Amino acid sequence: MSEHVTLPEGNVEKHTTTINLGPTHPATHGVFQNIIELDGETIVSAEQTVGYIHRAFEKIAEHRAPYQITPLTDRLNYCSAPLNNFGWHITCERLLGIKIPKRVDYLRIIIMELARISDHLICNSIVGVDSGAFSGFLYLMQYRELIYEIYEEICGSRLTTNMGRIGGFERNFTNQAFEKLERFMKEWPPALKEFDEMFVRNRIFMDRTIGVGPISAERALNYGFTGPNLRAAGVDYDVRVHTPYSSYEDFDFTIPVGSTGDCYDRFLVRDQEMWQSMEIIKQAYQKVQEFKGAEAEVYHADVPDFYLPDKKDVYTKMEALIYHFKIIMGETALPVGEIYSSIEGANGELGFYLITDGGRAPYRLHFRRPCFIYYQAYSELTKGGLLSDAIITMSSLNLIAGELDA
């Protein structure tokens, strides 16, 4: 047996334990590393390392035409790719000063709200998984499938959608798309209600999340929080209401807010937002159905310089083929301008700061990624809590590595 070593006089023993959480840990749902100092079970500090999947989108974007940037935006928050796609197209449209027909706006809103639901349902069910309730996650996953089937019907792809065009959509919504939408509208609310019943007043879930990872409204604002995380702290800021885009002003919906900014409030805010999104989808679908005759066929604005010609013309007509090539290869220059345009992404204000110098590609394009900005508060959120609380805090912030690292 070894003898007990006495430290020389004046030495201070290290009382804390350092653990590495991540970069690839099953509990972090993405590539996140945290170097956590623990005093017993209590977190003293957490130091985040980010950038594991950094892909230099801002550099690439300086060399690409607008349509070649859309697939880059897919890979920001890949749980709700259409939101990013439309955010980018809306930025271009604002730069070009294009007026979008109402029907396109409403169709976009349907897709954007579906994307918001698909993002929030992942986040909320993951919070469930991290607090020990796995079934909710598996159960809701099949409804995300229904949303992805709608995407598939509209643009052909599911996760990284590359959906839409500058000015609208690549083709009109088919009847199957609307049928699938109707199916989702019918089957989703009961499932969400069941999910609510499983979690919202569940004693175990409440004990695990109430008071965990809280932030005050003041600190949240100072940290640049936006989206559901800011609203959970009690600030009713929503880009859809404050700076309406895509005709959100035509819709009647409420902005749910929390008060304590803890995991439970974040969960509830996301949950209520899903219900509100359903309301918006219902109204939008009704508005879309009210278009009759030629108006019901409108699915894009008239932007010959940037809207791709019909595929069938590209295959049969010389002029259309040339235009297709010119637009894809970025032979049409963007006008000189400087614009900041933002939309309400699933995680908060997704901004595009675009500077153009008259060339075919942006001079500079900066993505304001909500994730990146609020993740820096993680250390403050988890300080003094338990390690298991830190895991829930991370998932309830809805950190998406793709958006974080750009």
Partner 1 sequence: MALTNEIIRSRLMEKFGEQLTGWEEPYGMLTFTSDKDLNLKVLQFLYDDVELGFKFMTDLCAVHYPNEEGKELAVVYHLHNMKENVRIRYKIFTGIEKPDVYTASALFSAANWMERETYDFFGVNFLGHPNLKRILNIDEMDYFPLRKEYPLEDQKRIDKDDEMFGRD
Residues that bind partner 1 (CB under 8 A): 50-51, 54, 56, 58-60, 63, 94-95, 219, 221-224, 235, 237, 242-243, 337-340, 342, 349, 351, 353, 355, 363-364, 366, 368, 372-373, 375-377, 405-406
* Exposed / middle / buried, residue 363 (Cβ in 10 Å: 0-12, 13-18, 19+): middle
Q: Least Å distance between CB 394 and partner 1?
A: 16
Distance CA 77, CA 140 (A): 19
Burial track 269-293 (b if 16+ CB lie within 10 A, e otherwise):
bbbbbbbbbbebbebbbebbeeeee
As given in the structure block, the two tokens for residue 377 are: 């508060």
CB of 155 to partner 1, least distance (A): 26
How far apart are CB 406 and partner 1 at their closest, in Å? Answer: 8
Residue with tokens 């998406």, as numbered in its chain = 400
By beta-carbon proximity to partner 1, the closer residue of 183 and 242 is 242
From the CB of 52, what's the least distance to partner 1, in Å?
Answer: 9
Q: Considering the complex, what minimum distance in angstroms separates the CB of residue 122 from partner 1?
A: 24
Cα-Cα-Cα-Cα torsion 381, 382, 384, 390, nearest 10 degrees, comes to 150
Shortest CB 38 distance to partner 1, Å: 21
Which residues are paired to 64 by β-bridges? none
Least gap, CB of 338 to partner 1 (angstroms): 5
CB closer to partner 1, 285 vs 375: 375
Q: Which of 343, 273, 240 is nearest to 124 (CA)?
A: 273
With respect to partner 1, which residue has the nearer C-beta, 67 or 188? Answer: 67
Give the neighbor-by-neighbor strand order of the sheet with 349-356.
337-344, 349-356, 364-368
Both structure tokens of 16: 């804390």
Q: Which is nearer to partner 1, 50 or 334 (CB)?
A: 50
Place of tokens 């007043």: 201
Of the candidates 191, 189, 188, the residue with the CA atom closest to the CA atom of residue 146: 188
Question: Which tokens belong to 248?
Answer: 């959100």
Task: Determine how β-strand 337-344 pairs with β-strand 42-49.
Answer: unpaired
199 versus 372: smaller Cβ distance to partner 1: 372
For 15: left if phi > 0, alpha if psi spans -120 to 50, otherwise beta; the answer is alpha
Q: Where are the alpha helices (DSSP H) in 134-262?
A: 135-155, 175-199, 203-209, 217-222, 227-232, 239-242
Q: Least distance in Å: CB of 268 to partner 1?
A: 22
Q: Tell me the closest approach of the beta carbon of residue 239 to partner 1, in angstroms.
A: 10
Taking the complex as a whole, the smallest distance from the CB of residue 65 to partner 1 amounts, in Å, to: 14
Q: Which is nearer to partner 1, 51 or 384 (CB)?
A: 51
Q: Which of 33, 67, 35 is nearest to 52 (CA)?
A: 33
Coil/strand/helix, residue 300: strand
Compute, in degrees rounded to 10, the torsion defined by CA atoms 193, 195, 199, 200. -20
- Using the minimum distance from each CB to partner 1, give the nearer residue, 124 or 226: 226
The residue (of 315 and 340) whose beta carbon lies closer to partner 1 is 340
Q: Nearest approach, Cβ of 93 to partner 1 (angstroms)?
A: 12
In angstroms, how far is CA 102 from the centroid of its own chain?
A: 24
> Which residue spans within 269-370 are E strands per DSSP?
337-344, 349-356, 364-368
* Identity of the residue, 138 or 339, whose beta carbon is nearer to partner 1 in the bound complex: 339
Nearer CB in complex with partner 1: 71/224: 224
> Which CB atom, from 189 or from 244, has the smaller least distance to partner 1?
244
